Amino acid sequence: MKEIKAEKITEEVRRLCIEAACILPEDVEKLVRDSKGKEESEFGCYSLEKVIENIDLAKKDMVPMCQDTGIVVVYVEIGEEVKILNSKLNDAINEGVRQGYVDHPLRKSVVTDPVFDRKNTGDNTPAIIYTEVVPGDKLRIQILPKGAGSENMGALKMLKPADGVEGVKEFVINAVVQAGGNPCPPVIVGVGIGGTMDKATMLAKKALSRHVGERHPDPRYKELEEEILEKINRSGVGPQGLGGRVTALEVRIETFPTHIATLPVAVNLNCHAARHKEIIL
Amino acid sequence: MSDIRNIKVPLTAEDAKGLKAGERVTISGVIYTARDAAHAKLLNALNNGESLPLEIEGGVIYYVGPCPAKKGQVIGSCGPTTSYRMDSFAPTLIEKGLKGMIGKGPRDEKVINAMKENNAVYFAAIGGAAALIANSVKKAEVIAYPELGTEAVRRLEVEDFPCIVAIDSEGNNLYESGVEKYRQL
């Protein structure tokens, strides 16, 4: 058994939360910088320029690039041979989130009860934690602080198998175009296809944590990613939704086997500030 | 690109009428922050016949929930939040004298009609430029609903806050015309 202290997990989650809010992953930063060269609209270019300036400033001053520092989604892969000491895994993670958001000037955006109370929890907990048990003696923690402007534009549709690839394209493209300027385009489009309704939405979100340039291993889906991206970028939505070419930066499809009677498709959007960080202990 | 015009707020009806969709501006003067929870409280106050905690006549409301200020900062990162969530509240405030709103993303027909009838204007700030925008804020003070934390109503003194006129007082809408111009589907 490999033993990992809960305090170590807390310390790392705290650090990941702060860094994710202030420093964009290099591959995403490059993607945003490169997108400016593809934009034709004047205001689109101007706003991308400001977004790039903002990325630089946030990193230099270690301040959040966006005021919406998100609700923290955490993906944990825990090896079968790992034992956590001194606390429970989820408690250690939530303590890390609490410390990160309280110690650094990050916004606390989580409310207790969704309908009646909506009282701020004051420390951005609880995180949304997905744990998977895997072979081995490693603990992998990936965090994805998710802003609500783009989250609110997510969509799910239970297509009929007969709707096929055309149905998938139409649904995904419409979801992005209808979202317009709301999710802070240019966006990264996470698409989950297959499984059940919950599985499809989880795949769509998981896609947002993929590295830039990582394509679906099946060439048919890889082509579909490219085709959907190209069509989205002909929609005219553009940066900030005020018209232009660069509406999306990437389309990322994740798939899973599904039932004979269904074809679930989920879309989860992320703004250009596609923040994520990970550590392997 | 068109010249950038600096405008002073609060706005008169004449000022608002002079702003055209697609025009880039920088805003200087006093604005107020309010988003979801604060709007519910503002409307509730009006329904109960109470006065509003902000100067609504000619006023400009910025849809934002800022980050806490870091030591030495006036305010933390403070980019615009998505405006449509305030659509059900905005017409009432516009009828009470609100002349400007700053946010991001399109507005619904009722808001645009209220803007046309009352000479109000909607500005888009750059979503995601939150650290930069914080530098435009020279003074910040919570003036109502402190219990709402980031959602409290703040009085901000801003200087050269960069925006674009997204929807003007005639209903010209850059979210439609801008997208139409580049649409190839």
A63 and B131 within 8 Å at the Cβ level: the answer is yes
Residues of B in contact with A51 (CB under 8 A): 126, 128-129
CATH of the domain at B128: 3.20.130.10
8 A C-beta contact, residue B165 and residue B21 = yes
pLDDT tens per residue across span A116-149: 999 999 999 999 999 999 999 999 999 999 999 9
Nearest chain B residue to A69, by CA: B67
Stated as kind and residue range, the H or E segment containing B26 is strand B24-33
Residue showing tokens 């409280």: B41
Q: Show the domain range for B33.
A: 5-182
A8's tokens = 């170590």
Of chain A, the percentage scoring pLDDT greater than 70 comes to: 100
Which chain B residues are closer than 8 Å to A271 by Cβ? 127-128
Between A58, A231, A242, which is nearest B178 by CB? Answer: A242
Using alpha carbons, list the distances in angstroms from residue B60 to A97, A239, B33, B142, B169.
35, 24, 9, 16, 14
pLDDT given at position B2: 62
Q: What b/e readout covers A209-242, taking b as 16+ CB neighbours within 10 angstroms?
A: bbebeebbeeeebeebbeebbebbbbbbbbbbbb
Q: Which of A143, A140, A170, A182 is nearest to A271 (CA)?
A: A182
**pLDDT tens digits along B139-150:** 999 999 999 999
3-class secondary structure, A141: strand
Alpha carbons B86 and A246: distance in angstroms, whole number: 27
Q: How far is B52 from chain A (nearest CA, A)?
A: 23
pLDDT band at residue A163, thresholds of 50, 70 and 90? very high
Q: Determine whether the interchain pair B182/A244 forms a contact, defined as Cβ–Cβ distance below 8 Å.
A: yes
pLDDT recorded at residue B78: 98
Total number of domains constituting chain B: 1
Over residues B17-61, the pLDDT tens digits come to 999 999 999 999 999 999 999 999 999 999 999 999 999 999 999
Mutate to test the interface with B, among A17, A240, A246, A249 (most CBs of B within 10 A): A240
**Domain covering A2-20+65-146 in this structure, CATH number:** 3.30.360
Contacts of B124 in chain A (CB under 8 A): 181, 240, 242
pLDDT tens figures, A58-92:
999 999 999 999 999 999 999 999 999 999 999 99
Locus of tokens 């919570």: B142
**Which of A68, A176, A275 is the best mutation test for B, with the most CBs of B within 10 A?**
A68
* Contacts (Cβ under 8 Å, ≥6 apart) of B79: A66, A67, A68, B64, B104, B125, B126, B127, B128, B129, B130, B133
Are A236 and B175 in contact (CB < 8 Å)?
no
- What are the strands of the beta sheet with A71-79, ordered from one edge? A128-134, A71-79, A139-146, A277-280
Q: Which residues of A touch B145 (CB under 8 A)?
A: none
pLDDT tens track for A170-215: 999 999 999 999 999 999 999 999 999 999 999 999 999 999 999 9
pLDDT of residue B3: 81
**Closest partner CB to B124 (pick from A105, A240, A271):** A240
- Minimal Cα–Cα distance from B147 to chain A, Å? 9
CA distance A149 to chain B (A): 6
Q: Tell me which chain A residue has its CA closest to the CA of residue B184.
A: A234
Q: Give the pLDDT confidence of B96-133 residue by residue, as tens digits.
A: 999 999 999 999 999 999 999 999 999 999 999 999 99
Instruction: State which residue of chain A sits closest to B75, comparing Cα positions.
Output: A105
Rounded to two decimals, what is the model's pTM? 0.95
* Residue contact A108–B150, C-beta within 8 A: yes
**Which of B2, B67, B87 should we substitute to test contact with A (largest number of A Cβ atoms within 10 Å)?**
B67
Does the interface predicted TM-score (ipTM) exceed 0.85? Answer: yes
CATH 3.30.360 occupies which residues in chain A?
Answer: 2-20+65-146
What pLDDT sits at residue A273?
Answer: 87
B29 in catalytic set: no
The confidence score (pLDDT) of residue B185 equals 82
What tokens were used for A63? Answer: 């301040």
Contact A238 B182 (CB under 8 A): yes
Crossing angle of helices A89-103/A6-22, nearest 10°? 40
CA A97 – CA A266 distance, rounded (Å) = 28
pLDDT (tens digit, 9 = 90+) per residue, A1-44? 999 999 999 999 999 999 999 999 999 999 999 999 999 999 99
- pLDDT tier at B70, thresholds 50, 70, 90: very high
Annotated catalytic residue within B7, B19, B21, B39: B39
Using CA atoms, how far apart are residues B61 and A275, in angstroms rounded to an integer? Answer: 29
**Residue in A closest to B24 by C-alpha:** A43
Residues 6+ apart with CB under 8 A from A251: A172, A189, A191, A225, A226, A228, A229, A232
Q: Give me the pLDDT at residue B130, please.
A: 97
Tell me the nearest-neighbour CA distance from A79 into chain B, angstroms.
36
- For residue A81, give Cα distances in angstroms to A78, A93, A133, A136: 8, 19, 10, 6
Residue B1 pLDDT greater than 70, yes or no: no
What mean pLDDT, rounded, does chain A reach? 97
DSSP notation for B116-180: HHHT-EEEEE-TT-HHHHHTTEEEEEEEE-GGGGGGSEEEEEEEEEEEEEEE-TT--BHHHHHHH
